[in-house]
C-alpha cells in the first residue's frame, strides 16, 4: 500500500466534515441549473452579469473558432499569440485606462506570474490576511519577504511599511474580498503606497464588470488612477468566459512578457475565447441595466434577510455571505436549502477563518426579483 498515509489523511478529513465534493452540472451555468439530474435555483456562481450562457458570446466563440480553429498550438512567445488576443489586450487596457494589458490563461496564473516577475529575494510584500489563495501562493513562489496585515487594517499596513525595508516594496490586496464581499479601502492603501514608495497590486476578480462606471471595476468605483497600480482582473466571473489580464504601465507589462514564468511556459488560451471575450466586453460595458438590477436585488435580499438569526456580512457587492458559524450548521443549512431545490454553497475553513462558516450567496443579473423572494422565503422557513 504505497498510499496508505494519504488514505488516512482523507479519512480524517471526512470525519471532520471537511471533505470537498464536486457536483456535476448537466446544464449551462445560470439561474436554473441541472445538477446530477435535478433542477435547482442557483445562487452559487460568479457569473455576476449572467453572461456565461449569453447567445452573443456563444456566437462569438463559434465564429472565433471558425476563424482561428480550436487550439492555439503554442505559447504566446512562440506562435500562439493571435490577432484576437492582441485586440482584446488593447481593448482591455483602454477600458481600464491603463497603457497596456497582458492576457493570462487564468487568474491563478496571472497572480503567480505577476508577483514572481516583479519581486524576489531581498524585496518585501505586504498583503491583506484575507487575500485570495492564488496571491498567497504567488507570494511564497516569489521568495520575497512576506508581511501580512489584518484584514483591511490600514494602520497596521502603515506600521509595516514604515519599518525599514531594503529592496522593492509591493502591497497586494483583493479589491473585493471573494468570501466576504467587502471592499478594500483602496484610496487609503494607494496613499500609503505613494508615501512609502511601494507598488500596489490590486486583484479585482470580483469587481471587474460589476463595480464602477460601465463596469470598469474597483479603480473606477473609487475614481483612482495611478501609474503605481498594477491592476489584475479575471475574465471567468462577471465577463462570463475564462482567463485573466494584468493592466499596467508599459514597462511593467513588458517585464511580465520577459519574465512571468506562468505566462511564458504555458500554451496560450484558445484564440476563440478571446473572440468571445471581445463580445463580452461590449455587453458588459454597455448594458448598464445588468448592474442596476444587481444593485436592486442586493438591497432586496438584505432587507428580506434582516430578521434572520444568521446575519448577512456587510457587503454591497453581489457576494452576500450569510454568517452561520459552525461547519455543521452551515452544511446543514445548505443541505436544507438543497432539499427545497435551492443551491447555495457552504464555505468552511480553511477557505474562511475558523468559526466563520457561511453560506456564500451570490447574485447574478440573470436572477429575477421572484428568485430572490424564493430564497428569502426558504431561509425564513428554516429558522428553528
Ligand atoms: C477566482 C479568483 C482568482 C483566480 O482566477 P481564476 O481565473 O479562477 O484562476 C484570483 N483572485 C481572486 C480574488 C479570485 O476570486
What does each C-alpha distance from 82 to 5, 74, 79, 92, 278 come to in angstroms?
Answer: 46, 10, 8, 16, 13
Give all domains of the chain, ordered by start, each with its CATH number.
Answer: 20-49+288-381 (3.90.1150.10), 55-286 (3.40.640.10)
Which listed residue (54, 98, 169, 206) is catalytic?
206
CA 375 to ligand 1 centroid distance, Å: 26
Each residue's pLDDT tens digit, 341-375? 999 999 998 889 999 999 999 999 999 999 999 99
Alpha helices in 196-270 (DSSP H): 218-221, 250-259, 261-264
Each residue's pLDDT tens digit, 285-339? 999 999 999 999 999 999 999 999 999 999 999 999 999 999 899 999 999 999 9
The pTM assigned to this predicted structure is 0.97
CA 47 to ligand 1 centroid distance, Å: 13
Q: What is the pLDDT of residue 20?
A: 85
Q: How confident is the prediction for the chain on average, in pLDDT?
A: 97
Each residue's pLDDT tens digit, 59-118? 999 999 999 999 999 999 999 999 999 999 999 999 999 999 999 999 999 999 999 999
**Ligand 1 neighbours by CB, cut-off 6 Å:** 106-108, 111, 132, 134, 174, 178, 203, 205-206, 234, 236, 244
Each residue's pLDDT tens digit, 124-171? 999 999 999 999 999 999 999 999 999 999 999 999 999 977 899 999
Which listed residue (178, 262, 269, 275) is catalytic?
178
Q: Which of 104, 179, 148 is nearest to 349 (CA)?
A: 179
Strands annotated E in the chain: 32-35, 38-42, 100-104, 124-128, 145-149, 169-174, 199-203, 229-234, 244-248, 311-312, 319-325, 342-343, 346-347, 357-362
Each residue's pLDDT tens digit, 200-213? 999 999 999 999 99
311 is catalytic: no
CA 377 to ligand 1 centroid distance, Å: 31
Q: Which atom of ligand 1 is nearest to the CA of 178?
A: 15
Amino acid at each position: 500500500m504505497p498510499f496508505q498515509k494519504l488514505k488516512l489523511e482523507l479519512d480524517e478529513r471526512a470525519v471532520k466534515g471537511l471533505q470537498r465534493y464536486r457536483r456535476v452540472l448537466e446544464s449551462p451555468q445560470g439561474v436554473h441549473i441541472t445538477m446530477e439530474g435535478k433542477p435547482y435555483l442557483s445562487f452559487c456562481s460568479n457569473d455576476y452579469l449572467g453572461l456565461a450562457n449569453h447567445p452573443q458570446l456563444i456566437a462569438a466563440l463559434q465564429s472565433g473558432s471558425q476563424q482561428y480553429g480550436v487550439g492555439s498550438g503554442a505559447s504566446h512567445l512562440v506562435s500562439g499569440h493571435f490577432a484576437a488576443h492582441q485586440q482584446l489586450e488593447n481593448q482591455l487596457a483602454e477600458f481600464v485606462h491603463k497603457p497596456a494589458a497582458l492576457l493570462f490563461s487564468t487568474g491563478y496564473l496571472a497572480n503567480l506570474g505577476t508577483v514572481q516577475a516583479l519581486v524576489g529575494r531581498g524585496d518585501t510584500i505586504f498583503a491583506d490576511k484575507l487575500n485570495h489563495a492564488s496571491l498567497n501562493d504567488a507570494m511564497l513562489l516569489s521568495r520575497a519577504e512576506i508581511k501580512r496585515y489584518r484584514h483591511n487594517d490600514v494602520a497596521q499596513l502603515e506600521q509595516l511599511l514604515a519599518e525599514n525595508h531594503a529592496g522593492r516594496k509591493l502591497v497586494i490586496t483583493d479589491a473585493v474580498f471573494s468570501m466576504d464581499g467587502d471592499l478594500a479601502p483602496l484610496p487609503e492603501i494607494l496613499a500609503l503606497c505613494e508615501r512609502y514608495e511601494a507598488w500596489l497590486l490590486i486583484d479585482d476578480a470580483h469587481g471587474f464588470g460589476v463595480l464602477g462606471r460601465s463596469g470598469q471595476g474597483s479603480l473606477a468605483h473609487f475614481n483612482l488612477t495611478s501609474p503605481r497600480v498594477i491592476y489584475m482582473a479575471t475574465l471567468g466571473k462577471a465577463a462570463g468566459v475564462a482567463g485573466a489580464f494584468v493592466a499596467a504601465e508599459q514597462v511593467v507589462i513588458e517585464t511580465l512578457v520577459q519574465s512571468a514564468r506562468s505566462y511564458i511556459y504555458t500554451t496560450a488560451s484558445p484564440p476563440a475565447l478571446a473572440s468571445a471575450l471581445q463580445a463580452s466586453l461590449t455587453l458588459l460595458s454597455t448594458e448598464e441595466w445588468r448592474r442596476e438590477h444587481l444593485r436592486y436585488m442586493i438591497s432586496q435580499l438584505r432587507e428580506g434577510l434582516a430578521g434572520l438569526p444568521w446575519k448577512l456580512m456587510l457587503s454591497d457587492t453581489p457576494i452576500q455571505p450569510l454568517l452561520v458559524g459552525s461547519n455543521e450548521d452551515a452544511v446543514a443549512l445548505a443541505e436544507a436549502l438543497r432539499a427545497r431545490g435551492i443551491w447555495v454553497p457552504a464555505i468552511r475553513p480553511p477557505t474562511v477563518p475558523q468559526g466563520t462558516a457561511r453560506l456564500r450567496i451570490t447574485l447574478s443579473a440573470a436572477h429575477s426579483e421572484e428568485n430572490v423572494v424564493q430564497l428569502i422565503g426558504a431561509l425564513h422557513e428554516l429558522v428553528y
